[in-house]
Amino acid sequence: MRPVGRVESPLTDRADAPRQGDEGAPDCTVAFEPTVAEALRDIAPGTELILLTWLDRADRDVLSVHPRGDAARPVTGVFSTRAPDRPNPIGLHRVTVLAVDGTRLRVSGLEALDGTPVLDAKPVLGGVDER
């Protein structure tokens, strides 16, 4: 796994980050490596993307959690939660591109911490007849 970019965000502490991108994440920048410029060529302002990240501050030994850190909720297997602590801590984020500057994308809706490695970007998939 080779990161293709990094998140540049005002979020630096897990305790301050929203639990999902649509729960108050600040606008931030995804700085892609110049080597993948060709892969980015069709991304424009307004594009909705699924970003995959490597949540490098996660605990990979955790297999069950109280959802959303709420001790009142029953312990749940991590494959039934979006908890970052899990065997392979891959973050899945639906974001909207606000601006493109070379290989730097300004995006909304991304709750990843500053410095988080980016692994992949994919389009949101439409119906079968739109593909």
Q: Can you give the binding site for a second copy, defined by CB under 8 A?
A: 1-2, 4, 19-20, 22-23, 36, 38-43, 47, 49-50, 52, 63-64, 67-68, 76-82, 86-88, 90, 92, 119-123, 125, 128, 131
Task: List phi, psi (to 5°) of 27.
Answer: -60, 145
Q: What are the backbone angles phi and psi of residue 69, rounded to the nearest 5°?
A: 65, 20
Which amino acid would we find at residue 114? D
Rounded to 5 degrees, φ, ψ at 78 are -65, -20
What are the structure tokens assigned to 122, written together?
A: 């994919």
CB of 37 or CB of 115, closer to a second copy? 37
Residue 35 is classified by DSSP as G
Nearest distance in Å: CB 42, a second copy: 4
Q: Could you tell me the smallest distance in angstroms from the CB atom of residue 16 to a second copy?
A: 18
Closest CA to 115 of 1, 21, 7: 7
State which residue, 12 or 59, has the beta carbon closest to a second copy: 59
Q: What does the DSSP 8-state code read for residue 87? A: S
> Nearer Cβ to a second copy, position 31 or 50?
50
Shortest CB 25 distance to a second copy, Å:
12
Min separation Cβ 121 and a second copy, Å? 4
Sequence-ordered list of residues with C-beta below 8 angstroms from that of 87, at least 6 positions apart, any chain? 60, 63, 78
**Residue (31 or 52) nearer to a second copy, CB:** 52
